[in-house]
Structure 1
Amino acid sequence: MTGAVPLQQGMLPDTIANLLGLDAFGVAGDIVAALLGAFLIANFLLINTAFAGPWAKRKITAAFTDRIAVNRIGPFGLFVIVADAVRLLSKELIVPEGADRPAWDLGPILIPFSALLGFAVIPMGSGLQLADPETGLAFAFAASSIASVGLIMMGYASNNKYSLLGGLRAVASNIAYEIPLIVTGVSVVLFTGSLQMSAIVEAQQATFVSVAGIAIPQWFAFVNPFAFVLFVVANVAEVGRNPFDIPEAPTEIVAGYQTEYSSVYFVLIYLGEFIHIFLGGAIAATLFLGGPAGPGPAALGIVWFTAKIWAFFLFTQWLRSAVPRLRVDQFIEIGWKGMLVLAFANLVLTAVIVGVLA
């Protein structure tokens, strides 16, 4: 059809369109294929989040603190996922008096939406990518940043001074660590010369060094471990895990921006929190750990990708159990006076190295 933008070859929507014969329907077929692809990716993430939130989080924390976690409802306590869903969704949705209702309703929706949107450009395996624009990395960062709008909306619209303070703290912390996060990500772009996610993954396929006959891939975590550490620390702060969880710490400000939320809205906030952890792990894996790359055939890419995002999730849960939270002034000071300076120093150093090697 004239003026239609064809689906990119090798993308998940393109594969779905070929399998279902949707190519014959032009733009309408492309839209249906894209929606089906988004549905599959979203459900994959929701299944992972369902295991991570109600079940794995409790099991991991119990293992770290030498306690017994959920083990009565179903095998290994797995049916607690269903029990928690029924329990939370059946609660009354209490709307605070004086709330700015449109903003109060929209805020919790933006949290999971922004995280799911970020996955649209993440290569998750062979042919498992919704889109691969030339500005893919910028899109992923921009999509995840939408959550900050939701946080300030929830804090403001709740008509609660503690919620407002919590929302302001959350946005202040996001800004303080989002800039170092992006600047560190740009250092990877200097190596690859592209913002396209597939190009970043492809640049890490070569062999970095061979030790005793074992080829170590050219993952940027090996090429520039300093940048990798900076990115992981800033990422942990972005997703609000210890020691950077002060914006929603119950002992400080009554759960912060989510104080006035219950029932399905609390579920959306909780869901968005864990999808953002997986998105943070997905971006880190794409930039520094070869994306879906790993031993074995390309078909195992989704397995390696899932293992990497779960490894990041396990790391955040270890921090939650082992590291005490920082005060808000310490938290912000580390972001602006420490992480930001180190991120720009890393960027300059990377530029020098790339300039010398070019």
Structure 2
Amino acid sequence: MLPETIGELLGFGTNMGPLETFVAALIAAFIVGNIMLITTAIAGPWAKRKITAAFTDRIAVNRVGPFGLLIIVADAVRLLSKELIIPDGADRPAFDLAPIVMVFSALIGFAVIPMGSGIQLADPEVGLAFVFAVASIASVGLVMGGYASNNKYSFLGGLRAVAQNIAYEIPLIVTAASVVIFTGSLRMSTIVNMQAEPLFTVFGLTVPSWYAFVNPFAFVLFMAANLAEIGRNPFDIPEAPTEIVAGYQTEYSSVYFVLMYLAEFLHIFLGGAIIATIFLGGPAGPILPGIVWFMIKIWAVFLFTQWARSAVPRLRIDQLIEIGWKGMLVLSFANLVLTAVIVGVIV
């Protein structure tokens, strides 16, 4: 674990007291948090625009700094220097807390993700359940922001977010449960280690037993449900700019809008981290360090979400709910039962 490694580097030894444990854990959390914040800072203002431009045959940002990279700094200064506008009649405590709840629900999820090279804050026995539980707290932030804004479009966005998350979070978790059947554990490190065994060898190339290869149907289901959880096309119903302006975030400006925007991309990368961990072997990979492979995998998931955003049209809200309850839910339970039967026969 990273806190123990930092404790040893600081000279605390292996038997750390409460104060030493707290200091080491705080430094470790600071490192992991900044890794993800830097990743998000690159993805949001710069990579998102460049990827979308590539898909739509445009140029995108290229004037501010080399390759347009300094747009990250320019956007930060521009947004943070804007006036923070509070709508008349807003429920101020809920309005203020909503962006913070959304950001921290994503950041806390990374605490149990094994990123390779010893970079993991904690490895509880219920790690997979923990990451789903804290990620789902974002739904509370969406509802708070939508309700507290005193805006009908924001309120509609919050209601849509709740309906969407309920409809797709159940298939998401049920599909992940099929992986738990294979591993027999909710511990994230165990799930990663179980995928290290070779699956088969073709022409001298060994294919690892990643669950994306073992159960590709579950992998496809999870990827689709994850798009709904992070609000990417065809499931960007809570924002739906052509219908409800910007949904739950319509009334947010300045630093609050930055936090909302940050939370959106943190949840995209958290979804990518979960997919990499339970389906793509976590940080496993040849030659390169584990953290490099982990970042490659979560960026690959990010690239897929941006492709969906650029290429797939938005569903109507009634279509989205119908697909979730009548399609994804049924398929996820069918996958769970089939996985249980196959594992039962093999074991």
Could you state the TM-score of these two structures normalised by the residue count of structure 1? 0.96
Which residue is 1:311 aligned to?
300
CA distance in 2, matches of 1:102, 1:217: 50
Q: Which residue identity is paired with 2:258?
A: V
Which residue is 1:3 aligned to?
none
Which residue is 1:31 aligned to?
22
Which residue is 2:99 aligned to?
108
The alpha carbon displacement at 1:22 in A equals 2.8
**Once superposed, which parts of structure 1, at least 4 consecutive aligned residues long, lie more than 3 Å away?**
none
Q: How does 1:202-217 map to 2 (within 5 A)?
A: 202-217=193-208
Select which of 2, 6, 11 maps to 1:12. Answer: 2
Which residue is 1:356 aligned to?
345
Which residue is 2:215 aligned to?
224
SS in structure 1 of the partner of residue 238 of structure 2: helix
CA distance in 1, matches of 2:59, 2:205: 41
The alpha carbon displacement at 1:25 in A equals 5.7
Which residue is 1:8 aligned to?
none
CA distance in 2, matches of 1:126, 1:344: 35
The alpha carbon displacement at 1:318 in A equals 0.6
Q: Does 1:283 align with 2:274?
A: yes
Q: How does 1:57-68 map to 2 (within 5 A)?
A: 57-68=48-59
Considering only aligned residues, what root-mean-square deviation do their CA atoms show, in Å? 0.8
Q: Does 1:325 align with 2:330?
A: no
Which residue is 1:22 aligned to?
12
| Deviations 1:288-331, CA, capped at 9 Å, x for gaps | 0000000126xx10000000000000000011111111011101
Counting matched residue pairs gives 346
| Deviations 1:262-286, CA, capped at 9 Å, x for gaps | 0000000000000100000000010
Which residue is 1:96 aligned to?
87
Which residue is 1:185 aligned to?
176
CA distance in 2, matches of 1:259, 1:239: 18
Q: How does 1:64-143 map to 2 (within 5 A)?
A: 64-143=55-134
Residue identity over aligned pairs, in percent, reads 77
The alpha carbon displacement at 1:58 in A equals 0.5
CA distance in 1, matches of 2:255, 2:12: 36
The alpha carbon displacement at 1:232 in A equals 0.4
Q: Does 1:337 align with 2:332?
A: no
Query: Which shows bigger deviation, 82-91 or 288-297?
Result: 288-297
Q: Which residue identity is paired with 2:10?
A: L
| Deviations 1:47-98, CA, capped at 9 Å, x for gaps | 1101100000110111111111111100000000000000000000000111
Select which of 45, 52, 58 maps to 1:54. Answer: 45
Which residue is 1:258 aligned to?
249
Which residue is 1:271 aligned to?
262
The alpha carbon displacement at 1:254 in A equals 1.3
SS in structure 2 of the partner of residue 208 of structure 1: strand
List runs of 5+ in structure 2 lacking aligned partners.
none
Which residue is 2:224 aligned to?
233
CA distance in 2, matches of 1:177, 1:285: 19
SS in structure 1 of the partner of residue 120 of structure 2: coil
SS in structure 1 of the partner of residue 206 of structure 2: strand
Q: CA contact under 8 A between 2:212 and 2:279: conserved in structure 1?
A: yes
Q: CA contact under 8 A between 2:7 and 2:16: conserved in structure 1?
A: no
Q: Which residue identity is paired with 1:20?
A: L
SS in structure 1 of the partner of residue 217 of structure 2: helix
